[in-house]
Amino acid sequence: MTQIDEKLEPILVEVLHRNAGEPEFHQAVREVFESLGRVVAKHPTYIEHALIERICEPERQIIFRVPWVDDQGNVQINRGFRVQFNSALGPYKGGIRFHPSVNLGIIKFLGFEQIFKNALTGLPIGGGKGGSDFNPHGRSDGEVMRFCQSFMTELHRHLGEYIDVPAGDIGVGKREIGYMFGQYKRLTNRYESGVLTGKDLAYGGSRARREATGYGATYFVERMLGTKNESFDGKRVVVSGSGNVAIYTIEKVIAFGGKVVACSDSSGYVVDENGIDLGLLKEIKEVRRERISEYARRKGSGVEHVAGGSIWDVPCDVAMPSATQNELTGRDARVLVKNGVIAVGEGANMPCTPEAVSTFQKAGVLFAPGKAANAGGVATSALEMQQNASRDSWSFARTEDRLAQIMNNIHDACAETAEEYGAPGNYVLGANIAGFVRVADAMDALGVI
Ligand code: GLU
């Protein structure tokens, strides 16, 4: 593990102490602190004005009961969260996650990452995150709708297009956003399009929002490969996950000439040496909401389905972890390096463990951290807000062009910042410093609030 600067060490100890029992939040905070030593040496005001302590403390944390009635008539209780972390740059912005693993520490880690990610986009959005331990798997549409309505019945009083603008994340897609928007509209009697993003095109969504996270991550990695005169063209690629991020990463990798040979879900992974059949994958995951084993069953011989195990055992040139946090371990990283991986791009939030990240960096593998590489989703959410505010709707090409431009800018900001701080090629350091400086300077200008 990298040394923490001696001026930062006591601040980190205090943050870990007052947020006991939140390992993912600790991990995210420590990673940023590891990058900040060089910044505070150059700019002591960040310490003098307590900007680092302030950034680690959420502005507001909301925890609430979500009661709902299942199809059998039983009352179910879940817990809802919204952490409004930082609004120095704009209204709180960040997704909502529905997954049984959700707890306050997970939402805080995601919210913390979101602050810097959103700052990196260069767009006027603060950082926040929310969610619930509700498990949508195996629930009927009616159950999901009643859950979403109950969730929004409590959350709506904390939202607004100038206050806090949620979107989707794991377990929350356009269906859930639709149910939540409907309930918000009914409770407030306001057609406030800009209060949620990731909306369906039928009522104020943005073209290319669905594709944005995966496309954006692929644009970022393509540009990163370009710094070494490489590209996706002809590369063997493994993309973990098979949700929204993974599917549109696969689509863009194929467009750039790469071949994706494996993808996964929580039940296992599939290897298709002919290249993943995107049409079939979309049908299974987006339409039928089935398990990934269905892909192997439908394809028949030649496609391997491995239940459990690690998808990172599949040799590849480029790895795009796009499932969930800490899915790629130190052991996985060593296997990937041994198999000759040249670049890794995080499509998910914090999918690589700290040991995995340092393994890649020591081996000279190009490594794109999630808060930079997966910022295309939230950036396009900000473009959705822009379209809603101007009561306009852009073409797919215009929106995708803006996305590509934003991703290239983020890439270059990370690369230049790493260079400026004496660590060329270290995108982790570049992303953390560039994001931090933008937020800290805005906070400093606003006084002690
Ligand atoms: N959940 C996504 C993320 O992790 C998107 C957030 C948004 O669009 O607000 O960045």
Model pLDDT for residues 327-341, shown as the tens digit of each residue: 999 999 999 999 999
Domain boundaries of the chain, sorted by first residue: 9-55, 58-196, 211-373
Instruction: Give the C-alpha separation, 198 to 167, whole Å.
Output: 6
Model pLDDT for residues 43-53, shown as the tens digit of each residue: 999 999 999 99
Q: Which among 374, 446, 439, 412 has a CA at the least distance from the CA of 39?
A: 439
Q: H-type helices in 272-375, by residue range?
A: 278-282, 293-299, 330-338, 354-362, 370-373
Instruction: Give the C-alpha separation, 143 to 69, whole Å.
Output: 7
- pLDDT at res. 138: 94
Pocket test residue of 81, 86, 114 for ligand 1, highest count of atoms within 8 A of CB: 114
The 8-class DSSP code of residue 158 comes to G
Domain 58-196 carries which CATH code?
3.40.50.10860
Residue 247 three-state SS: helix
Q: How confident is the model at residue 29 (pLDDT cuts 50, 70, 90)?
A: very high
Ligand 1 atom, smallest distance to 374 CA: 10
Pocket test residue of 381, 388, 399, 410 for ligand 1, highest count of atoms within 8 A of CB: 381
Higher pLDDT, 2 or 22: 22
8 A C-beta contact, residue 368 and residue 342: no
Ligand 1 pocket by C-beta < 6 Å: which residues? 93-95, 167, 169, 197, 349, 377-378, 381
Q: Which among 370, 371, 240 has a CA at the least distance from the CA of 314?
A: 240
Mean pLDDT of 100-117: 98
Query: Is 3's pLDDT higher than 90?
Result: no
Model pLDDT for residues 34-45, shown as the tens digit of each residue: 999 999 999 999
Expressed in angstroms and rounded, the spacing between residue 324 Cα and the centre of ligand 1 is 13
Query: Is 1's pLDDT higher than 70?
Result: no
Model pLDDT for residues 153-175, shown as the tens digit of each residue: 999 999 999 999 999 999 999 99
Q: How confident is the model at residue 301 (pLDDT cuts 50, 70, 90)?
A: confident
Query: Is 411's pLDDT higher than 80?
Result: yes
Mean pLDDT of 398-410: 98
DSSP for 370-409 reads HHHHTTHHHHHHHHHHHHHHTT----HHHHHHHHHHHHHH
Ligand 1 atom, smallest distance to 118 CA: 10
Model pLDDT for residues 368-400, shown as the tens digit of each residue: 999 999 999 999 999 999 999 999 999 999 999
8 A C-beta contact, residue 40 and residue 46: yes
Work out the percent of the chain whose per-residue pLDDT is above 90.
98
211-373 and 58-196 share a CATH fold: yes
338 is catalytic: no
User: Distance between terminal CA atoms of the chain?
Assistant: 33
Expressed in angstroms and rounded, the spacing between residue 379 Cα and the centre of ligand 1 is 8
DSSP 3-state percent helix, strand, coil across the chain (nearest 5): 50, 15, 35
Expressed in angstroms and rounded, the spacing between residue 323 Cα and the centre of ligand 1 is 14
Mean pLDDT of 7-21: 97
Mean pLDDT of 306-326: 97
Tell me which of 3.40.920.10, 3.80.10.10, 3.40.50.720, 3.50.50.60 is the CATH number of domain 211-373. 3.40.50.720
Instruction: Give the C-alpha separation, 301 to 237, whole Å.
Output: 21
Query: Is 265's pLDDT higher than 90?
Result: yes
Query: Is 2's pLDDT higher than 80?
Result: no
Q: Which among 98, 21, 29, 97 has a CA at the least distance from the CA of 58?
A: 29
- pLDDT at res. 159: 98
Q: Which among 8, 27, 13, 20 has a CA at the least distance from the CA of 355?
A: 27
Four-residue CA torsion sign, 443, 444, 447, 448: positive
Query: Is 139's pLDDT higher than 90?
Result: yes
Global pTM value: 0.98
Catalytically annotated residue among 129, 174, 199, 259: 129
Residue 208 three-state SS: coil
